[in-house]
A and B are shown apart, each in its own frame.
Chain A
Amino acid sequence: MNIETIFTLKSTYRDDFRIDGYRFGKGEKTCCIVGALRGNEVQQLYVCSQIIKALSNLEKKGNITYNHEIMVIPSLNPFSMNIQRRFWSVDNTDINRMFPGDSSGKTTQRIAAGIFDFIKEYQYGIQFTSFYISGDFIPHVRMMETEHKNVSLANLFGLPYILLRKPKPFDTATLNYNWQLANTSAFSVYTNETETIDESSAQTAVGAVLRFLSRMGVIKYQSHGGYMATTLEEEHLMSVHAKQGGIYRRIKQPGDEVEQDEPMAEILHPFDGSVLEVIKAPANGIVFFAHKSPLVLENSVVYKIIKRLHI
């Protein structure tokens, strides 16, 4: 293992901003794994730390195969993490909306460019990330639906689902999209949590990455089989909206099966505790996404359901 500094930026009032990467193996730039881009992506940071731990052990035993190099970058944004802000500490811009970046442009564009020029050389790119709406997902691999996507490779993670997303305008400035454009096979891996650590979904994510690397012949590692993934298109997920605002009491969790009209959550009056709304399943299916915050606004998407077609 070799620790190297990929990007630095001088600061007047703080330590210099620094992005560090952990390099394993030697030879072809095979796989780059990226963790937190936002300051609140603690679970993503944790997952990377556990991958680094696992890869260190594998390397010590000589289990990284010949002519393969793996790079792990646990955080692209330690500055925001340290002051508990989601976005860039100065101007609140999102580094994940700045790719491919511009080395003579704005600060966050420079950060994006500094990192992207380095990581676009890798054959596979894996990113742990979070959604702009807060909530929990079934662990899954997500990719932008571009001509460069590689669904059969996404299968090798052995996670239960692969989600394809049609890029919206803002997606064109994300890491995943630009990685694909630069001919890196790019995968975003979503786990249950963001701001707190969920040990079991973190282990699922670590296991998925090690499984992928072993199936690609990059590491020697005994992994159990995992799932045969189902591929979903984001637009086919069924959104369930809240019709009231108030206290949100979640009944169904990501991964739960639901039957049509089964209660999924309740919205309570914030002062008297009476039930304002019982949110019922609109169809038979499986919960893919669930709202997390204990408070909810009217019209929020509280669930996304994978509709079962043949029942």
Chain B
Amino acid sequence: MIEDVVSVKLPVMEQMTIKKNRFEPITKNGNEKRICIVTGVHGDELEGQYVCYELVRTLSENCHLLNGIVDIYPSVNPLGMDSIKREMPIFELDMNMIFPGSETGAVAEHIAAALIKDISGADLCIDLHASNIFLREIPQVRISEETAPRLLPYAKMMNVDFVWVHSSSTVMEATLSHSLNKIGTPTLVAEMGAGMRITKSYGDQLLDGIFNLMAKMGIWLGETKKVSHPIISTDGNVSIIYSEASGIYMPAIKHWAGISEGDHIGDILNPLTGTVEQQIFSPCSGIVFTLREYPVVYQGSLVARILGGC
């Protein structure tokens, strides 16, 4: 059943509405578990669109296999998604900087608060992201150190390649996931693919994970596929490589491939002078789980993240 979560009148004859699709078992006993799948906090991240479509399609066709409640929010920043903007248009605000919001605050805060209220109390929430237009990510779950004891068991069921247990900063406190975890609604952040793109194989991989998770939670009674065991790592094992020159990045490696210390990662080129501004070599051995997708770089542009200690 499609429901409105929050709705705001725009100035010129239009209503902005965040919608969700709720699936429930045919007969309810009142003790059903509930899972929320949220995507589109960043309007330029589209990987979750295919995941939501497939999830809704499968659940619609198999209502009899449902033993819990599934709430699917395909686009919590609908104006951003429509206008190819990461932020909420009008306010130019990153939605993940305004949670938990405030019911009496400005429009963006009010929307954020309404979303939190709607999700709160769920047994699990998955906030699905798709990196940004600059970087490509392998399917991964990110959780903070504080939430790891509670969330790691769920993260392992998600059929992702990698679980990143990261330290948190104060700025991150304004994210949807932090705000929900803080009020006791366990929330995982999944990241995969690249902004403005849909990678079907990643979507299918994550869908297997979501059905597995729902089965383990007792929400889904249908068949599930065997899921893979992710590599679990903390910040200490992640090496981040930034460009030290400005120019065009040409990769010399493949995404999610093994790499040895000293291997050539790529070059920063100057198309006007025909010179190589920087040759980039790997500072450590490991696997490249983040790789730059967008070629134009500045000093300080992220080029790759490598899983493997230096």
Report the minimal beta-carbon distance from B105 to chain A, rounded to whole angstroms: 7
Contacting pair B9 A87 (CB below 8 A): no
- Chain A CB within 10 A, most for which of B172, B242, B245, B296: B242
Closest to B173 in A: A169
Query: Once the chains bind, are A172 and B9 in contact (CB under 8 Å)?
Result: no
Q: Which of B41-73 contact A (CB under 8 A)?
A: none
Say yes or no: A105-B300 contact (C-beta < 8 A), given A245-B10, A301-B105: yes
The answer to whether B97 touches A97, judged by C-beta atoms less than 8 angstroms apart, is yes
Given the known inter-chain contacts A10-B299, A92-B86, A133-B106, please indicate yes or no for A297 contacting B10, CB distance below 8 A: yes
Min CB distance B112 to A, Å, is: 12
- Bound together, the chains give a CA A241 to CA B107 distance in angstroms of 9
Closest to B301 in A: A107
B92 at the A interface (CB under 8 A): yes
Interface size of B in residues (CB-CB distance below 8 Å): 40
Q: Which of B83-114 contact A (CB under 8 A)?
A: 86-87, 90-93, 97-98, 104-107, 110
B113 vs chain A, min Cβ distance (A): 11
Q: Which residues of B lie under 8 Å from residue A97 when comparing CB positions?
A: 97, 171
Number of interface residues of A (CB under 8 A): 39
Instruction: Say which residue of B97, B247, B270, B299 sits within 8 Å of A107 (CB atoms).
Output: B299
B8 pairs with A297, CB closer than 8 A = yes
Of A11, A90, A271, A297, the residue contacting B90 (CB under 8 A) is A297
Is A86 at the interface (CB under 8 A from chain B)? yes
Which of B8, B93, B298 contacts A298 (CB under 8 A)? Answer: B8
- Say yes or no: is B149 at the interface (Cβ < 8 Å to chain A): no
User: Is A109 among interface residues, defined by CB-CB distance under 8 A?
Assistant: yes
Nearest CB to that of B170 among chain A residues? A172
Which residues of chain B in 220-278 are interfacial with respect to chain A, using CB atoms and an 8 Å cutoff? 242, 245-248, 270-272
Chain B nearest CB from A156 CB (Å) reads: 31
With known contacts A12-B270, A86-B92, A169-B174, A270–B13 Cβ distance under 8 A: yes
- Scoring A residues 57 to 92 as 1 if CB is less than 8 Å from chain B, else 0, what string do you get? 000000000000000000000000000001100111
* Inter-subunit contact B171/A297 (CB<8 Å): no
Number of A-B contacts (CB under 8 A): 102
Chain A residue nearest to B179 in the complex (CB): A169
A105 to B243 CA separation, bound complex (whole angstroms): 10
B302 touching A106, Cβ below 8 Å = yes
> Do B171 and A172 touch (CB < 8 A)?
yes
- Asked whether A201 is an interface residue with its Cβ less than 8 Å from the other chain, the reply is no
Q: Give CA–CA (A105, B299) in the complex, Å.
A: 9
- Bound-state CA distance A48–B294 (Å) is 36
Check: B30 CB closer than 8 A to any chain A CB.
Answer: no
Q: Which residues of B contact A271 (CB under 8 A)?
A: 13
Asked whether B296 lies within 8 Å of A12 as measured between CB atoms, the reply is yes
Chain A residues closer than 8 Å to B301, beta-carbon distance: 90, 106-107
Q: How far is the CB of B281 from chain A (nearest CB, A)?
A: 16
In this assembly, does A299 line the interface, its C-beta being within 8 Å of a C-beta of chain B?
yes
Is B97 in contact with A170, judged by CB distance below 8 angstroms?
A: yes
Cβ contacts under 8 Å, B26 to chain A:
none
Please measure, in the bound complex, the distance between the C-alpha atom of A108 and the C-alpha atom of B300, giving whole angstroms: 8
Q: In the complex the two chains form, what is the Cα distance from A172 to B271 in whole Å?
A: 39
Query: For residue A104, which residues in chain B have a CB less than 8 angstroms away from its CB?
Result: 242
Q: Is A194 an interface residue (CB 8 A)?
A: no
Name 21 A/B residue pairs within 8 A (Cβ), A-sorted: A10-B298, A11-B246, A11-B298, A12-B246, A90-B298, A90-B301, A105-B300, A106-B300, A107-B301, A132-B91, A133-B91, A169-B97, A169-B170, A241-B104, A245-B12, A246-B12, A270-B12, A271-B13, A297-B10, A298-B9, A301-B107
Q: Which residues of B contact A (CB under 8 A)?
A: 8-13, 86-87, 90-93, 97-98, 104-107, 110, 132, 134, 170-174, 242, 245-248, 270-272, 296, 298-302
Chain A residues near B (Cβ < 8 Å): 9-12, 86-87, 90-92, 97, 104-110, 132-133, 168-170, 172-173, 239, 241, 244-247, 270-271, 295-301
